């Protein structure tokens, strides 16, 4: 079984976070180290460590990450100008927390690669 990360504690509200959204499938909160005016993490409530671990049964949940990203981008006022959605995988992808998460980043023009 995969090891729980700090994100499980945020989902369970065992530690504080700037929580923006939560439902039965996903949770969204502001990144503690924002790289842009809007930097939000959207995560499944189920612990999936990396993109390599996504199964067919997770498709609805992973799709929910996109619909919540869309909703939050609108609320942040960045939908029209645009934003970036990023999922890092493993060490070469720059993944630090092994609970899969989508970064929603925007509020300023982004270069061709954001987190090099």
Of 30-38, 61-69, 72-80, 104-112: span binding ligand AMP (CB under 6 A): 30-38
Of 43, 114, 110, the closest CA to residue 78 belongs to 110
Q: In angstroms, what is the minimal distance from the CB of 90 to ligand AMP?
A: 10
Contact 40, 20 (CB under 8 A): yes
**Beta-carbon neighbour count of residue 107 at 10 Å?**
15
Query: Does the footprint of ligand AMP cover residue 49 (CB under 6 A)?
Result: no
Check: CB of residue 57 under 8 Å from CB of residue 25.
no
**Tokens 């700090």 sit on residue:** 6
Catalytic choice (39, 92, 99, 101): 101
Taking alpha carbons only, the member of 43, 82, 45 closest to residue 66 is: 43
Our finding on whether 32 is near ligand AMP (CB under 6 A) is: yes
Between 29 and 83, CB nearer to ligand AMP: 29
Q: Are 89 and 115 in contact (CB under 8 A)?
A: no
| Least distance from ligand AMP to the Cβ atom of residue 98, Å | 8
**Residue 31 sits in the site that holds ligand AMP (CB under 6 A):** yes
**Shortest Cβ 104–ligand AMP spacing (Å):** 11
> Tokens at residue 58, please?
């997770």
So which residues are the catalytic ones? Answer: 101
Residues of this chain that interact with ligand AMP (CB under 6 A) are: 6, 17, 29, 31-33, 41, 88, 94-97
């Amino acid at each position: 079984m995969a090891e729980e990360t700090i994100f499980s504690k945020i989902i369970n509200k065992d530690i504080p976070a700037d929580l923006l959204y939560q439902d039965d499938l996903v949770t969204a909160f502001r990144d503690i180290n924002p790289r842009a005016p809007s930097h939000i993490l959207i995560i499944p409530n189920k612990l999936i460590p990396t993109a390599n671990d996504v199964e067919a049964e997770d498709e609805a949940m992973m799709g929910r990450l996109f619909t919540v990203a869309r909703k939050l981008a609108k609320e942040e006022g960045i939908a029209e100008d645009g934003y970036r959605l990023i999922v890092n995988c493993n060490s070469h992808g720059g993944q630090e927390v092994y609970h899969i998460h989508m970064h929603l980043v925007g509020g300023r023009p982004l270069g061709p690669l954001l987190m090099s």
